[in-house]
Structure 1
């Protein structure tokens, strides 16, 4: 490990008002306590605390935007370098993952369906299974993990971690139905018919957002969310143009280089990337070239046709010129939206103009007994924000199920 985690842990000041936790971590991980337990030789207690607070801790330690979150709020970073909190959490949570004993309360005799196995779905599944509910996860892909597995490259999040996590879910008694799409042979009505007392929709955002320019259907143009699912299926050639500047664009660019493309250029509309600082810097280190102030007006067989972009004093976009940027392949990485198969095959679940599922403050959809959370409600965010939302929804579902059972027994 490049970072000596014990030395890093010793740098923690154990602040009375830890900004790393209060303002830095969306999941409000008790970072000072984690470090204190670790330095006291109580790594298992530290791991248990992390897992209880955030079942995705081992994953968040690798893929969160730590520079903007916990480490970005570390007091040590004011005059020097922040404590490498992510490395400490990764060391502890990875060691604990294989040791955690998945216990649950006595069975409550109620069934819960989880649609989708991304961070939101898995968090709700774990929290409710621990409370004694009979949980079944429906996943349309072959393996669990959702966008964590099929949208984040292995060099950032090793799939072996998700495989280990899957085993822990089975130990908790969670049933897993892979290769099963809700909205096909099965829909929400059928799930309720078969005895599910509540349903959680955590299906994520898997439909790529198009640019809306001519040429996106050409054979040399692809979407990031499709490419990242299985990059070995693609022959991109030597020159690749990536349109977009978020973390997905960085993942695409770095993956393309690892798969043999020699010249990879990311084109950003603004004068900076929207990806995290770390992902931007690693992309540069991997040899990715960045062009700023560029906006596509057409995709051609020879590459994207780009115009220069700038903003006037009123903040309005100004474009000028048009230039071909030679590329064998162009990959569009400008966000995703939800697929609509689930809502099209049922009644009562409303969505907004962006296709995101509408919920109340408790994660309850417009249909009785159906809850939702994560990206399919908030739009494409990061893992820890999905976890934060899912924890709240799991509490609401627990309360709903208890009330439902009480009403049935009265």
Structure 2
């Protein structure tokens, strides 16, 4: 059944498709839509999966307004083709129905530390090439930010479970509750015979506001809250500080789990928010309220003190944000969620010599994804900061090629 046939029929199959050119992973959108209309689901699904193993995930979480849909020629004078709906239908069916065959093994062990988007991509790609891959995941479920950072009402988790099933079909071993760093070190992994290690541990340490009262009991960091939002008692009135996708997810989750009033407080305007327009729109539709040009000053028992801000134009034409004198006011609330970005947890760096970091504690790599330690590669948020899922997949594919090239020396020597 073609659930999105009307959507597919809107596509004019451009020869030089702007949608494809603006897709970070170069998804062959016109070809996929043509195959869909012909009912060739398996062929279309295979192309999508081999190009992007997280296609079913990206169809939900990608910022489509900046990529495929936002560059659709049909959108110039009307409604663009919502390719992501077609992609989701095809990719989900493909993940449900395929059974991957474990390839001939080359006997080379590879460790993948972290099972977020980058880790899953690297593990799948290396496993299809015959490597003996083991994933080390510090939590009890795989997925990283997909499982513990994006709410279930926004991203259905069954596709992550399907990916786990496909990983195991390829022979990938998954060690849950396995933290690499303090006890099991990189040295230990190499001693046990792993020839290369991939690090894709994401960014899980929240940034602080660095204002008074931040440690109070009614204050929580959004990235921590999103791991188990059903376990928190936030009360009826909640303020979220920040304006990225994590802030929107936290605000929507707070509403979903019972808060009557949820506010986003941001020191700039709506146009400056880093969250996608879709996420902002969804939050508004679900009743989240916005307090713009409000900067946090201090957290008190009764709530948070906010100060008004405004933009001023400088002599050179640039703009600056300034505080308005005597504008501090108490914003009463039951709980405060802080969502102003994240940085990596440096457990691996602290406990393993040879890994250099750059500004913000991000792992330092070269253009191939190689860290400053031989045989150890990294990509995704742990090297770039919090970016999109699709960017982690793109980087994961490139790093996989680099690791494969590096590992060839061991295959040749063993043979």
TM-score category (smaller protein): over 0.9
Partners of 1:12 and 1:313 lie apart in 2 by: 43
Cα-to-partner distance string for 1:191-213 (whole Å, 9 max, x where unaligned): 00000000000000000011111
The answer to whether structure 1 residue 399 and structure 2 residue 405 are counterparts is yes
For 1:94 and 1:4, locate their aligned partners in 2 and report how far apart those are by CA, in whole Å: 13
TM-score, normalisation: structure 2: 0.96
Deviations 1:125-178 (A, max 9, x none): 000000000000000000000010000000111122212221111111100000
The equivalent position to 1:388 in structure 2, one of 378, 386, 394, is 394
2:102 and 2:158 mapped to 1: Cα distance? 25
Partner of 1:351: 357
- 1:324 is aligned to 2:327: no
Q: 1:369 maps to what in 2?
A: 375
- Rounded to whole Å, the distance in 2 between the matches of 1:337 and 1:405 is 37
Give secondary structure in 1 for the equivalent of 2:313: coil
Q: What does residue 158 of structure 2 align with? A: 160
CA positional deviation for 1:360: 0.4
Q: Where in structure 2 are there 5+ consecutive unaligned residues?
A: none
8 Å CA contact retained: 2:106, 2:411: no
In 2: Cα distance, 1:230 partner to 1:8 partner: 36
Indicate the SS of the match to 1:13.
Answer: coil
Shift of 1:403: 3.0
Indicate the larger mover: 294-303 or 387-396: 294-303
On the 8 A contact 1:356/1:379 being kept in 2, the answer is yes
Mean CA deviation greater in 327-336 or 298-307: 298-307
Q: Which position in structure 1 is the counterpart of 2:57?
A: 59
Equivalent position of 2:13 in the other structure: 14
CA distance in 2 between partners of 1:331 and 1:289 (Å)? 14
Deviation at 1:106?
Answer: 1.7
Corresponding residue for 1:211?
A: 209
Alignment of structure 1 residues 118-157 onto 2, 5 Å: 118-157=116-155
Comparing 178-187 with 305-314, greater Cα deviation is found at: 305-314
What pairs up with 1:215-230 in 2 under 5 angstroms? 215-230=213-228
CA distance in 2, matches of 1:161, 1:304: 39
Q: Distance in 2 between matches of 1:359 and 1:268?
A: 33
Report the Cα distance in structure 2 between the residues aligned to 1:319 and 1:236, rounded to whole angstroms. 29
Taking structure 1 as the reference length, what is the TM-score of the superposition? 0.97
Unaligned runs of 5+ in 1: none
For residue 296 of structure 1, give the secondary structure of its aligned residue in structure 2: strand
Which residue of 38, 56, 75 maps to 2:73? 75
Aligned partner of 1:113 in structure 2 is: 111
In structure 2, what is the Cα distance between the partners aligned to 1:391 and 1:38?
26
Three-state SS of the structure 1 residue aligned to 2:275 is: coil
Runs of at least 4 residues off by over 6 Å: none
SS at match of 1:153: coil
- Give distance in 1, aligned partners of 2:236 and 2:250: 14
The match for 1:271 is 269
Q: Which residue in 2 is equivalent to 1:43?
A: 41
Contact 1:102-1:168 at 8 Å conserved across structures:
yes
Q: State the alpha-carbon separation in 1 of the partners of residues 81 and 409 from structure 2.
A: 45
Instruction: Please give the alpha-carbon distance, in whole angstroms, between the structure 2 residues aligned to 1:268 and 1:115.
Output: 35
